[in-house]
Structure 1
């Protein structure tokens, strides 16, 4: 199953330079890296990145992350993927801009 991580451009640049990341500051504070499913990603962007125009959308395959990926209840009891360990650049399938258009983030068509 594909899962998604939203990072600010400077966080993505640091991730690329280092080859792995512990995530954004909120991830480091919580002790795991937050991801969203395709169905959850737009709400995540609206709630945590409203108005931000410097975002990257990373696509990953959940099964490739192994046993460090846990599905845990969060917003409204929905299960969200959380990674308890570093995220490696090699695990990123696609990285693309997440543009802000008319105040909303425009996600690529065909997200599964």
Structure 2
């Protein structure tokens, strides 16, 4: 894959933990699966709709995959599509931007922008 940025959806509590600790070991599903689930920009809307429907207070962290290097593996998931997975913790130093989940005028999730 050539994407160098992927996105992690976090609850407000998980985002606060990442900020406070400088690292995030994973959500319960990540810990159970043995890796941290990420989505590309094109996969993000479906990920939020499928796994976070009805939840409020969500945040999105933009993750620089190049910083994580070999810890990132692209593996098949939904419908055989390749998704980026982090084998290890997500360090805050790999997060280039983050913010609350917001929808744009087109109804799609607005990606966080470093600012």
TM-score by length of 2: 0.86
Gaps of at least 5 residues in structure 1 are none
1:49 maps to 52
When normalised by structure 1's length, the TM-score is 0.88
Q: 1:59 to 1:13 in 2, by over 3 A?
A: same
Which residue is 1:72 aligned to?
75
Which structure 1 residue ranges, 4+ long, deviate > 3 Å from structure 2? none
What residue is the counterpart of 1:107 in the other structure?
109
Q: How far off is 1:18 after superposition? A: 1.0
Is the CA contact 1:98–1:106 (under 8 Å) kept in the aligned structure 2?
no
Match of 1:90 in 2: 93
Distance 1:12 1:24, change over 3 A: same
CA RMSD after TM alignment = 2.0
| Equivalent position to 1:32, from 32, 35, 41 | 35
Larger strand proportion, structure 1 or 2?
1
Aligned residues: 108
